[in-house]
Structure 1
Amino acid sequence: MVRKSGDRVWAFRFTDLEGKRAQMEFAKAGDRDSPSGDALTLSSAREKARDYKVALKREGIDPRVKKRATGQGSKTFKEFAEEQYPVWCQGLSEEELKQWQRSIRDVPSLHDKKLQEITTEHVLEALKAIWTLKPVTASRTRQRIERLMDAAKALRLRTGENPAAWRGNLKHLLPSPRKLNRKKGHRSAPYTKMPQMMTGLRYDAGNAARCTEVGILTVSRSQEIRLMEWTELDFEARTWMVPAEKMKIKGELEPKPHLVPLSDQAIEIIQSMPRTDKYVFPSDHAEQHQPFRANALVGAIERTAVKSTMHGCRTSFRNWGADNKEHNFRREVLEFCLSHRVGDEAELSYWDSEMIQRRRDALQAWADFIKPRKNTSGEQPPESKRQRLKLVA
């Protein structure tokens, strides 16, 4: 086509993704003798237009977006990552920032790659070096790369499918991280030993023990309970709202906030904590106000002489609930207490109930089993029991 100025340019006419007719200029028109370095001959222009047409038809990429991304996508993966993740980590723990730094450090082959040129093959090559050695860490690294690629696409710095996506992409090229990590299951104690563990924690004076107690009473994950904030608690409603960003990302599902009903025992411990800053259970070994690291909670459990991990305590709760004949808890109630949703996609699309009262009953029964409530009625124990207490004294 010829502009009003008299300049001749090549233009690609096409029907866009919304079914509208569109036109895009992509190069100056020239011949083989043209002194201009950016001019294209007829054959070269046809080849370029053919590439745009293929990308539009097969990949659903609007050529105007592709052209803009090619022009702007001069940032490298590392440059873009170091711009983005510090902003995402604001308000979170220092550990979250360190995990992002480790993830970027674990994929050096991507550092100097331009955002637009990164392909599934590049991501696959970067992950293979760590995938079988540390599957859990590698899986989280993949999720972080995927988030960065989504952000780059949203900012129009690249086009096309996400090269780090799991479903329909890397899932068919890499072994499942869950299967690779299956042999390293979390150590859990029989639920009959949980009252003994709670007794041991009660005599531990540190904040880590209080944090561990409430974590076990609410059957929450280590990260969720360590990062509990006062603003997330509603003492009138007796609930704790765990924000989506603190929830574990499971598979490809977007994390959602999780409402936790609080038992009497959990509220008593929480209200005994001094309100010094935003975290309910600040580290008592750090100079600044910050949460504990995960190994602090594991250490508190080890001091009780009962062998388990924080995640293992969740297993203990699940086994107790399944074996409990007195209450006969429904399976979905127990799973929801663990912030798991059961059912296929169709069922979950219709199920948005919080089951708050049913879960409250289950968690209160669990609390009464592992940490019986004190006798606050003021009544004296029966005569025979008082006599036994005297004899023991």
Structure 2
Amino acid sequence: MARPKHKLADATVKSAKLKPGRHGDGAGLFLQVEEEGGSRSWLFMWKRDGRRSVIGLGGYPDTSLALAREKAEACRNALARGEDPRLALRKEQAEPTFGETVGAFLDEDREASWRNEKHRAQWRMTLLGPAVQKGKRRRAPDYCRHLRPMKVSAIGTEDVLAVLKPVWRAKPETASRLRGRIERVLAFAKGQGWRSGENPAQWKNHLDALLPKPEKLKARGHHRALPFQGLPGFYARLRQRKAPSARALEFAILTAARSGEVLGARWSEIDLAEKVWSVPASRMKAGRAHEVPLVLRAIEILTDMAELRREDDEYVFPGQKPKRPLSQKAVDNLLERMKAKEATTVHGFRSSFRDWAGDATTFPRELAEAALAHVVGDKAEQAYRRGTALERRRKLMTAWADFLASSDAKGRTTGKPASADVIPLAGRRKAKAK
């Protein structure tokens, strides 16, 4: 009995309300909607000898529903002939477009090796464009909209520069990543035999002569950060705020964690008995699991959030929508309400922590770097230093929490105890060493 086909309609595929995940059109064709960013692409899946395989058919809307069905039919015909649909499809696509090449590059096998969903979604959004967002006043930029319809064999240096120049100075980090992604897609196309010659997105000995070096542009764009000396006063004002976003920001400051790690924190990662937060490798920037010692105030925050926990909600800091975490925008808005957005970013508090640890304490540099989940040393040193120094880091984070609580909202010293590893700041009462 033949499997039903053509379950999807154009209106369904276009709908901004389409939920993340795979939506079947029938007979092996699926529309993949990403969790982060909502970008969409087509997949064809089949099973042979008990093994499931998948191939990307291109991103939507460059690859329409009708075109995706044509490609899926070609794949089914190849299977009927006993051929591999991937090889058959590539033969038919002697000169695919850039959009189609991106779809082939971002197939599931390649994506499975990447760090996490957010990383995968960023590739899709920058190369295939953002999803349609009905009712939104602002929409994420579609960087590669002019490249996607072009035959991949015809893309030259001027075409790549037309994508990069509008954002190169304004968003150097984004532009640099975009260039690298385009370069990798075009390198993939060359490996498939779809284009020849030099890579027009190559940086060394090519674009480096045509564009300013990104390092010089980035030097003007470090994350804004408060001087650590002024942090206790800010922290005291933050403690007075009652919103969940305030507790999330406070937790981020206490743990020196990245905002994405905090906002995505799940209850399954928290061990209140051991006072440890275990962040899995899939959610870490470096792709390595990270254990965070939890100080007393962090435990208090978690206890308060547990009392507000909704049924079946896995996120420690839930958003307004069910089963969704608190958004980055909610925390950014909090900084704006506190009139601190011009002075710092959420990420900037990690810089404040690092400056405090280096300038105002005697804790080893390696310990502070470990607290920030930075990889220290070369590969040989990393192989021998497998311990997490959890208890030593717990002392560091306790001293950090004491420092944060050392002033009230008006900047007056509260008399909190100081660790023996903390250097008394000028103008403050010296605390006796333990």
On whether the aligned pair clears a TM of 0.5, the verdict is yes
Pairing 1:318–2:354 present: yes
Which residue does the alignment assign to 1:20?
Answer: none
Which residue does the alignment assign to 2:13?
Answer: none
After the TM superposition, which of the residue ranges 212-221 and 182-191 deviates more from structure 2?
182-191
Counting only pairs closer than 5 Å after superposition, residues 1-393 of structure 1 correspond to structure 2 as 74-81=95-102, 99-100=125-126, 101-102=129-130, 105-114=142-151, 123=160, 126-145=163-182, 175-248=212-285, 255-273=287-305, 274-276=308-310, 277-283=313-319, 286-304=320-338, 307-325=343-361, 328-344=362-378, 346-348=380-382, 350-371=384-405
* Aligned CA distance change for structure 1 residues 192 and 349 (closer, same or farther; 3 Å): same
What is the letter of the counterpart of residue 355 of structure 2? N
* Aligned CA distance change for structure 1 residues 80 and 206 (closer, same or farther; 3 Å): farther
> Is there any run of 5+ residues in structure 1 with no aligned partner, and where?
1-64, 249-253, 375-393
* Aligned CA distance change for structure 1 residues 67 and 97 (closer, same or farther; 3 Å): closer
Which one scores higher on RCO, CA 8 angstroms, separation ≥ 6?
Answer: 1
Query: Cα offset for 1:135?
Result: 0.9
What is the letter of the counterpart of residue 331 of structure 2? L
* Aligned CA distance change for structure 1 residues 111 and 313 (closer, same or farther; 3 Å): same
What is the letter of the counterpart of residue 269 of structure 1? I
CA distance in 2, matches of 1:110, 1:67: 25
CA distance in 1, matches of 2:399, 2:158: 51
Query: Cα offset for 1:309?
Result: 1.9
* Aligned CA distance change for structure 1 residues 150 and 361 (closer, same or farther; 3 Å): farther
* Aligned CA distance change for structure 1 residues 91 and 183 (closer, same or farther; 3 Å): closer
CA distance in 2, matches of 1:169, 1:278: 48
CA deviations 1:333-380 (Å, max 9, x no partner) are: 1122122223345544544432322222211211122137x9xxxxxx
* Aligned CA distance change for structure 1 residues 214 and 76 (closer, same or farther; 3 Å): same
What is the letter of the counterpart of residue 201 of structure 1? L
SS of residue in 2 equivalent to 1:105: coil
Identity %, equivalent residues: 37
What is the letter of the counterpart of residue 362 of structure 1? L
Which residue does the alignment assign to 1:378?
Answer: none
What is the letter of the counterpart of residue 396 of structure 2? A
After the TM superposition, which of the residue ranges 217-226 and 160-169 deviates more from structure 2?
160-169
Query: Cα offset for 1:111?
Result: 0.5
TM-score w.r.t. the length of structure 2 is 0.55
Which residue does the alignment assign to 1:391?
Answer: none
After the TM superposition, which of the residue ranges 197-206 and 292-301 deviates more from structure 2?
292-301
SS of residue in 2 equivalent to 1:138: helix
What is the letter of the counterpart of residue 220 of structure 1? A
Query: Cα offset for 1:244?
Result: 4.0
CA distance in 1, matches of 2:370, 2:358: 14
After the TM superposition, which of the residue ranges 76-85 and 334-343 deviates more from structure 2?
76-85
SS of residue in 1 equivalent to 2:347: helix
SS of residue in 1 equivalent to 2:251: helix
Query: Cα offset for 1:321?
Result: 0.8
Query: Cα offset for 1:240?
Result: 2.5
CA distance in 1, matches of 2:349, 2:317: 19
After the TM superposition, which of the residue ranges 344-353 and 225-234 deviates more from structure 2?
344-353
SS of residue in 2 equivalent to 1:187: coil
Query: Cα offset for 1:122?
Result: 5.8
CA distance in 2, matches of 1:139, 1:367: 37
CA distance in 2, matches of 1:236, 1:149: 51
Query: Cα offset for 1:304?
Result: 4.1
What is the letter of the counterpart of residue 202 of structure 1? R
Query: Cα offset for 1:332?
Result: 1.4
CA distance in 2, matches of 1:181, 1:94: 24
TM-score w.r.t. the length of structure 1 is 0.60
Query: Cα offset for 1:320?
Result: 1.2
